[in-house]
A and B are shown apart, each in its own frame.
Chain A
């Protein structure tokens, strides 16, 4: 009897350890990066006030990263979230002028969700790889953003910038994180998302309506990009239309957070991993700025960081077919 109680106790300790191991690892990484840049640049980096500012900017990408998680967990891609972000942010500016906060909140959420729906519908009906569909569609969304603004920079009115400052930005972001966590943990979507990601054939044969859930994942991703747009335009206060695939660069920072979520999902904490992951990336960016690196080098850092994260998180299996 006592040995079985011991076993149960040991097991629950194991479960707790496993649950918090991922978070501990991420916090350790954060401290390491903070320490490195703090040593190099002790005066311009890493004070508590600055850390809060890095955290607030990273929240924007973390919301987008959570949206992208629904797509990437299924093994799909969405390279149109940058174009979606530009278009939705522009619409948020425009509608806030006419309908105040209602326009600022509803316009990007509706447009983001509709773009997600369109991505899903085109992907399912055209039978072509999701990365190609979303690259093609982002060409279209970018041109729509230019049509909507006639090339003029859109500025958010000073009366509607609450979501760019503490605590409203944190509250909105936390609402998004709670929503994503609930969907992943307590809905069919969360379960089927992993089933489709690990073996689509099997999921289909088990009776999962794969197409329906794929479209749903694009809708959820679009919805979260809509929320990301509110945070983004409120923080940055202006947005210029994108052209010539320039929106592509905006896909990467959220994507990096998603990769953190994917690699730490075995510890059961994808959303927390995305949030801390984005914070680490924000630390690195700001660290480079603090040591005097030019802003153009940030793209190089992003590229290298993304490549390293993918390299570390994918396990190369000999003989596997990767195209």
Chain B
């Protein structure tokens, strides 16, 4: 009898938590609270070192590339699709940028963006025209282009022109990131495209009947995401000056974890918030830097990241839109 009462009570509490989590306000606030908690926790654990000016500068230095590339994936995930090829896009675009940087920087940036757009278009083609699940397509292209990166860097890393590091200033990186964020924010909030993206995530058939050209938008978004990551390759190369075989590896997982930590539901839809990008990337970077600073090994960090990733996905998954979970 007591067991029965206990289980009823536990279920009641679970339902209450579930109901609270489904409120839009909770979904907006929780990721921010998460960021504050993570920051406060590591400030205590590192004796304030993590918020020292030097560390904040270092932390911000690591944020730019991830923040920019996450924007494209955010658009894709808002539609309920996935993109696991962004790491390879970053690698290939970085190689193209490095090759072309000897001729002209502007040409190199355009080349990297085009390289990203081409891979995005390939992803879009197989997903939209051949109706293959986005995760499968992008994991195939991830593998394919990772092989190509390994091939192109077999003998030695691909070096950019030597004076490329002169561009590695806070002004260049910060302005680039803020401008792209601003453009994406304006598009997401003040154009029809932003509404369409959410609509496709919430109900693809419904939005199709409402006159949205779903296929066109999906394909466009894969190209756009590739272009944005192509631009992120510019920031990536000016920081390190060269591309090795591991260029961009695990980057796709970083983006996925960051966006999920920011509160973006895997299923996309109306619950997607633009702030998910900023809170997510900052939380992820504070978390990795914090775990590193308290002296944990790489494998312990990966273990903790894996556990947190699963818990947060479970917490923020939009179960109403998932009738059958495959």
Seen from chain A, the residues whose Cβ lies within 8 Å of a Cβ on chain B are 75-77, 79, 122-123, 126-133, 135-140, 142-144, 146-147, 200-201, 241, 243-246, 248-249, 252, 294, 296-304, 306-307, 310-311, 314, 316-317, 319-323
User: Which A residues touch B182, using CB under 8 A?
Assistant: none
Whether B145 sits at the interface, judged by CB under 8 Å, is: yes
B143 contacts A122, C-beta separation under 8 Å: no
Binding site for A on B (CB under 8 A): 79-82, 126-127, 129-137, 139-148, 150-151, 154, 204-205, 208, 249-250, 253, 256, 266, 298-300, 302-303, 305-307, 309-310, 313-314, 317, 319, 322, 324-326
Smallest CB separation, A249 vs chain B (Å):
6
- Cα A294 to Cα B153 with chains together (Å): 12
Q: Decide if B141 touches A307 in the complex (CB within 8 Å).
A: yes
- Residue pair A307, B140 in contact (C-beta under 8 Å): yes
Among B143, B303, B309, B313, point to the contact of A303 (Cβ < 8 A): B143
Q: A294–B326 contact, CB under 8 A?
A: no
Interface centre among A144, A249, A296 (most CB of B within 10 A): A296
CB-CB under 8 A from B150, the residues of chain A are 296, 299
Q: What are the residues of chain A within 8 A of B81 when measuring CB–CB?
A: 323
Residues of A within 8 A of B249 (CB): 244-246
Set of chain A residues within 8 Å of B253, measured between Cβ atoms? 135, 139, 245
A311 touches B306 (CB 8 A): no
Q: Given contacts A143-B300, A252-B143, A304-B144, are A321 and B310 in contact (CB under 8 A)?
A: no
- Which residues on the B side are within 8 Å of A144 (C-beta)? 303
Contacts of A139 in B (CB 8 A): 253, 302-303, 305-306, 309
Query: Complex: how many Å from CA A265 to CA B305?
Result: 39
B132 touches A140 (CB 8 A): no
- Determine how close the nearest CB of chain B comes to the CB of A309; give it in whole angstroms: 10
Do B310 and A311 touch (CB < 8 A)?
Answer: no
- Pick the most buried of B130, B140, B146, B151: most chain A CB atoms within 10 A of its CB: B140
A311 B130 Cβ-Cβ under 8 A: yes
Pick from B147, B249, B300 the residue with the most CB of A within 10 Å.
B147
Q: Is the CB–CB distance between A306 and B151 below 8 Å?
A: no
